[in-house]
Chain A
Amino acid sequence: NAGVTQTPKFQVLKTGQSMTLQCAQDMNHEYMSWYRQDPGMGLRLIHYSVGAGITDQGEVPNGYNVSRSTTEDFPLRLLSAAPSQTSVYFCASIAPSGANVLTFGAGSRLTVL
């Protein structure tokens, strides 16, 4: 049981490059989400999914795409990276029952030059 696994941990991109942040969980969680954390801004929700085939926008979705083809995986795509997307990204999931506690990945630090 690995929990929520995010890759890569660190990434440096040039403006205009594309990349995918991977997120996988092995807990059969229906709800998965991506947040970005910036100083003074807390954690802001980018996109979330309540199950395979279902995604929805959060507070700051512009510049990011997601898909949810399986229950386990929820990748976050940056199609054309911008310096404003420099941030720490967290993937998190919630169990289908119980107290709705978010289980977080370890985070991915992205720098866009």
Chain B
Amino acid sequence: AQKITQTQPGMFVQEKEAVTLDCTYDTSDQSYGLFWYKQPSSGEMIFLIYQGSYDEQNATEGRYSLNFQKARKSANLVISASQLGDSAMYFCAMRAYTDKLIFGTGTRLQVFP
């Protein structure tokens, strides 16, 4: 069975600092994808970054990078140079092969000046 765990209900970071949001996963499949989504207070779900299980390099998208440690089954999101607009809920998600896509419980990030 697949499982996604986000152990940080809330995180605080000062503007311009970097922050790491934790995500661990469990699957017996060899082929899977890992995702991060952002949900601002307006409610829409915004795709941030994707990492495939066979990708050798960590994914990066602008200020977002995914710290993928396959042996530890972790897929942490790193946000560099935090901005006030980064305040939101962040969800980690996983899809094994062509199966269903499941989400973690989320981390609420608050960026303060």
Contacting pair B43 A33 (CB below 8 A):
no
Question: Which A residues are closer than 8 A to B by beta carbons?
Answer: 31, 33, 35, 40-45, 48, 50, 56, 58-59, 88, 90, 92, 94, 99-102, 104, 106-107
CB-CB < 8 A to A94: which residues of B? 95, 101
CA distance A101 to B102 in the complex (A): 12
Give the size category of B's interface with A. 20 to 34
CB-CB < 8 A to A50: which residues of B? 98
Contact with B95, one of A43, A44, A100, A106 (Cβ below 8 angstroms): A100
CA distance A50 to B95 in the complex (A): 13
A-B contact pairs, 24 of them (CB 8 A): A31-B98, A33-B101, A40-B9, A40-B105, A42-B6, A42-B103, A43-B93, A43-B103, A45-B100, A45-B101, A48-B100, A56-B100, A94-B95, A99-B33, A99-B50, A99-B52, A100-B35, A100-B101, A101-B35, A101-B50, A102-B45, A102-B101, A106-B44, A107-B43
CB-CB < 8 A to A41: which residues of B? 105
CA distance A104 to B93 in the complex (A): 14
Within 8 A of A (CB), among B42-80: 43-45, 47, 50, 52
Q: How far is the CB of A104 from chain B (nearest CB, A)?
A: 4
Q: How far is the CB of A5 from chain B (nearest CB, A)?
A: 14
Is B91 engaged at the interface, CB distance under 8 Å to the other chain? yes
| 19 new A-B contacts at CB < 8 Å, known A56-B100, A106-B43 | A31-B98, A31-B101, A33-B101, A40-B105, A42-B6, A42-B91, A42-B103, A42-B106, A45-B102, A90-B45, A94-B95, A99-B52, A100-B35, A100-B50, A100-B95, A100-B101, A101-B47, A102-B45, A107-B43
